[in-house]
Amino acid sequence: MLGTRKNKALWGYLFILPLFICVFLLLLYPMLDTIITAFFDIQLVNISEKTFVGFKNFQTIFAQENPNFFTGIMRITLIFVFFSVVLQVGFGLALALLLHLKWLKAKVFFRNVFLLPWVTAGVVCGFSWKFLFNQTVGVLNYLVTLVGIAPQAWLSDPRLVLPTIIFANIWKGTTYSLLIQLAGLQSIPDELYEVALVDGASKLQSLRYITIPMLVPFLFINLVTETGDTFHVFDRIYAMTGGGPLHSTELLSIFMYRNAFVYGNLGVGAAVAVFELLVGLAFALAYIFIFRQERV
C-alpha cells in the first residue's frame, strides 16, 4: 500500500514537472537574472563586458542627477497605481454584481463584450486610445464639442494627461477584476441568501453581511494581482504618451525602459526593476497584514 502511494506521488510530480520547468524558464530565471544584473555595470552596446559595482546602480537612481525621482516619478506612479487599482476593483465588483443578477438577460453576450478590453493587446489598446483622445480628429473632442465644451489636449496637457491614461488603464484592467469577483459570487451558496430572506434581511443587508464577507478572499487576490500588474504597465502607456509631456506620465516602468534601452545602461535599468519589485512586494505584504487584521 505504501509503495503504491509512493508511485502515485512520483507520477504526480512527473506530471507537474513540465509546469515547474516552464515557470522557472519564463518567470524565475528572468527575475533572478535581473536581480544579478542590478549589481553589475553592463552597457547595451557591449553586453559581454560586465563589471561588478555592488549597490552603485541603486545609488545612481537615487542620486542628484535624478533629483525628481521620488518627488516626480514615484508620485506619478503611486497616483496611477492607487486610482487604477481602486477603480478597477470597484467597477469590476459592480459589473460582477450586475452580471450575477438572475433576471438579467443575455448574460453571455455582456460577458463577451466586457472581455474585449482584456483580450486586446496592450499596444493596440494604447494606440486606439491615442487616436480617440487626439486633439484634432479624436472622437472624444467631437463629443465634448456637442455639449459646448472646447476641444481639450488630453494627451499633451500635463494637467489632463495623467487622468487620461488612468482612464484608459481602467478600461483595460477592469475586466480582470470582473472575472475574479464574478467567480467569487458564483461560489456563494444560494441557501445563505434564502435563509437571510426568511429572516427578513433586505438586499442591502445581504450584500453587507453575506456577499462582501464571502468575497474577501477574492478581493485579496484581486488587489494583489491588480497592484502588481499596474506597477508593471508599460506598453499601452508608452504607446499613448511615451512618458510625456514633460515626463508627466513617466512611470517606474518607463523610467526603467529609458535607462536600459534608451541610455543603454542595463545595470541601472535592472536596479529600477528590482526597486519596482520591492515596492510591489511591500504592497502585497501590506495587503496581507490588512486582510489578516480584518479576519481577527
Domain assignment of residue 282, yes or no: yes
Q: d(Cα 95, Cα 181) in Å, to the nearest integer?
A: 9
| DSSP code per residue over 126-169 | HHHHHHHT-TTT-HHHHHHHHTTPPP--TTT-TTTHHHHHHHHH
* pLDDT value for 3: 52
Per the structure, the complete domain to which residue 287 belongs is given by 35-295
Q: d(Cα 127, Cα 140) in Å, to the nearest integer?
A: 14
* pLDDT value for 296: 54
Cβ-Cβ contacts under 8 Å for 77 (sequence gap 6 or more):
231, 251, 252
* pLDDT value for 20: 80
The predicted-structure confidence for 216-242, as pLDDT tens digits, reads as follows: 999 999 999 999 899 989 999 999 999
241's enclosing H/E stretch is none
CA distances from 123 to 152, 235, 284 (A): 23, 5, 27
Mean pLDDT over residues 17-35, rounded? 84
Q: d(Cα 48, Cα 208) in Å, to the nearest integer?
A: 59
* pLDDT value for 2: 46
Confidence of residue 264 (pLDDT cuts 50, 70, 90): very high
Query: 173 with 88: CB under 8 angstroms?
Result: yes
Domain assignment of residue 234, yes or no: yes
Domain assignment of residue 182, yes or no: yes
Please report, rounded to a whole number, the percentage of residues in the chain having pLDDT higher than 90: 43
Domain assignment of residue 21, yes or no: no
- Here the CATH number for the domain that contains residue 164 is 1.10.3720.10
DSSP state letter for 105: S
* pLDDT value for 294: 65
Domain assignment of residue 197, yes or no: yes
* Count: domains in the chain: 1
Q: d(Cα 282, Cα 292) in Å, to the nearest integer?
A: 15
Q: d(Cα 16, Cα 269) in Å, to the nearest integer?
A: 34
Most confident of 2-6, 82-86, 139-143, 246-250: 82-86
Question: Does the pLDDT of residue 78 top 90, yes or no?
Answer: yes
C-alpha cell at 280: 510591489
